[in-house]
Amino acid sequence: MSENNQREPWFSAKNLKLITEPIGIKNPITVLVLGICSALAVTVKLKPAFVMAISVTVVTAFSNLLISWMRNSIPNRIRIIVQLVVVAALVILVDEILKAFVYDVSKQLSVFVGLIITNCIIMGRLEAFALGNKPWPSFLDGIGNGVGYGVILVVVGFFRELLGSGTIWGYRVIPESIYVKNGGFYENNGMMIVPPMALILIGIIIWIQRTRNKSLIEE
Amino acid sequence: MGVLDKFKKMDTNSNLYTFLYASGMVILVAVLLAIAATSLKPAQQKNKETEKKVDILKSFGKTEGIDKAANKHRFVDDVFKKFITEQLVVNIHGDSIQGVDAFGIDLKAELSKPEEERNLPVFKAILEDGSVKYIFPVRGRGLWGPIWGYIALNDDMNTIYGATFDHQGETPGLGAEINTLQFQKQFAGKTIFDNSHKFVSVQVVKGGAGKDNPHAVDAISGGTITSTGLQEMIHNCFENYQAFFNQQTK
């Protein structure tokens, strides 16, 4: 019994799993297929995708922490609204901070920062995890899911920017001289810029992940 | 502490508790957000101001070094002060209006006023070689939202020296291309009056303007509505300045 009363170490194997699982086998985008909307919208360029990833991670982590901390006092009948208020308050804070300190990026993300509020991952984690677990594991779970979401965004953003615009993080990597308009043979893939291509890329990522991990395939 | 303890012991499913909880939470969040919004406002304002200055500078191509500047705000302020020698406000008859800050004018609000009451900003720049450029703000509607820009004219009030455009949410890769250099540099050298001094503005032609056409540029393929909106924007906004143009060239 005495062992049970002992405090769990901050980064026990169980707690670490909360971070690593959502990045891999419980990935919110590729396995649970949540948060697709913003994954399509903000991944044309790498930089906004990266900032979006950080923003979502911050919001999931802290909303999980707050809701878990409040979980025993929240009136059950209005718990969804309470969650929404907490998430919305955090998102507005993030939006204001982006506007004040990374104005260019906040302009590119525009309405999608506000739409973090409706990101299914956040509500999903609050309902599924934070309401039933202690603050610290909830916080880790939030970080894990935010990063799991972010990794996919960054990968998709990387390929869409590289193949669609020939740049990475705004820097040109495919030399101007090989483009058709400069007498070369290369042309950017216009498909990469439109949202459906993000869906196709995510599909490819899911395909690769499932091929490598057979346990993800349904019967 | 007595009240709080009592509150903590309440049945979390009772109506009173639910009401108290909801009200308390809303007030707390409201106060928190109000504090955040007020304290971040100056920084946000400064960002908007600098962006506007950069846009104006872009119209006559004086934005070198801004990306690399350690203190972007101060750098932009300095460059802006160096080139922009005068900020005028005129009305539709070309008369100058005193006591209005040209930089602070919200063009959207002005364009929705009746013509007679509009305050129209004009920025005058003198470049290193002594040539004088006049910069006019333009604003209109694209496909998904507002588009805007700044157009610099030579002092003949006819030839476009440079132009810059931006948008809120045009389709990336299509309408959004109006903020690229390739599109904007087409405007340089175009004229807005024809040989008989009739105002013709600049046409944005789908399928490509002829190379020799002095009043037209190529539209963006796949961005027809944005292109048409841009053409209308330039026409409508320059129309307000007709009297001013005439005065300057007299």
Q: Report the greatest alpha carbon distance in chain B.
A: 87
Mean pLDDT over each residue of chain A, to the nearest integer: 87
Percentage of chain A modeled with pLDDT above 90: 40
**CA dihedral of residues A174, A175, A177, A180 (deg, nearest 10):** 10
At CB < 8 Å, which residues of chain B contact A? Answer: 8, 12-13, 17-18, 21-22, 25-26, 29, 32-33, 36-37, 40, 43-44, 47-48, 51, 168-169, 172-173
Tally Cβ neighbours within 10 Å of residue B207: 7
Predicted pLDDT at A2: 41
CB-CB under 8 Å, B173 with A193: yes
Instruction: Say if A8 falls within a structural domain.
Output: no
User: Residue A3's pLDDT band (boundaries 50, 70, 90)?
Assistant: very low
Q: Specify the number of domains making up chain B.
A: 1
Instruction: Say if A13 falls within a structural domain.
Output: no
Q: Where are the beta strands (DSSP E) in B42-117?
A: 84-90
pLDDT in tens, A207-219: 999 898 888 877 6
Nearest to B52 by CA among B13, B124, B105, B117: B105
Ordered DSSP codes for B76-95: HHHHHHHHEEEEEEE-TTS-
pLDDT in tens, A86-120: 999 999 999 999 899 888 888 877 777 888 888 88
CB-CB under 8 Å, A101 with B13: no
pTM of the model: 0.77
Instruction: Give B199's strand partners.
Output: B193
Directed axis angle between helix A13-23 and helix A135-165, to 10°?
30
Instruction: Say if A3 falls within a structural domain.
Output: no
Predicted pLDDT at A149: 93
CB-CB under 8 Å, B47 with A99: yes
CB-CB under 8 Å, B22 with A78: yes
Instruction: Say if B44 falls within a structural domain.
Output: no
Predicted pLDDT at B80: 92
- B172: closest chain A residue by CA: A193
Write out chain B residues lying below 8 Å of A110, CB-based.
168-169
Instruction: Say if A11 falls within a structural domain.
Output: no
Instruction: Say if A131 falls within a structural domain.
Output: yes
Instruction: Say if A208 falls within a structural domain.
Output: yes
pLDDT in tens, A150-186: 999 999 999 999 998 888 887 888 888 888 877 888 8
- B17: closest chain A residue by CA: A75
Whether A144 has a pLDDT exceeding 90, the answer reads yes
Q: How far is A143 from chain B (nearest CA, A)?
A: 23
Phi, psi of A74 (to 5 degrees): -70, 125
Select the residue of B12, B44, B173 nearest A194 (Cβ to Cβ): B173
- Domain hosting residue A107, numbered range: 18-218
Predicted pLDDT at A1: 39
- B40: closest chain A residue by CA: A100
Q: How far is B101 from chain A (nearest CA, A)?
A: 24
Residue B81 in tokens: 């002060």
Residue A82 in tokens: 């309470």
CB-CB under 8 Å, A82 with B22: yes
CB-CB under 8 Å, B33 with A89: yes
Query: Which residues of chain B are modeled with pLDDT < 50?
Result: none
Instruction: Say if B16 falls within a structural domain.
Output: no
CB-CB under 8 Å, B21 with A74: yes
Instruction: Say if B129 falls within a structural domain.
Output: yes
Q: How far is A127 from chain B (nearest CA, A)?
A: 18
Instruction: Say if A173 falls within a structural domain.
Output: yes
Q: What value of ipTM does the predicted structure carry? A: 0.76
Q: Specify the number of domains making up chain A.
A: 1
Our measurement of the distance from residue A49's CA atom to the centroid of its chain's CA atoms, rounded to an integer in Å, reads 9
| A/B interface, count of CB pairs below 8 Å | 64
- Domain hosting residue B229, numbered range: 53-249
Instruction: Say if B4 falls within a structural domain.
Output: no
Residue A119 in tokens: 């990101």
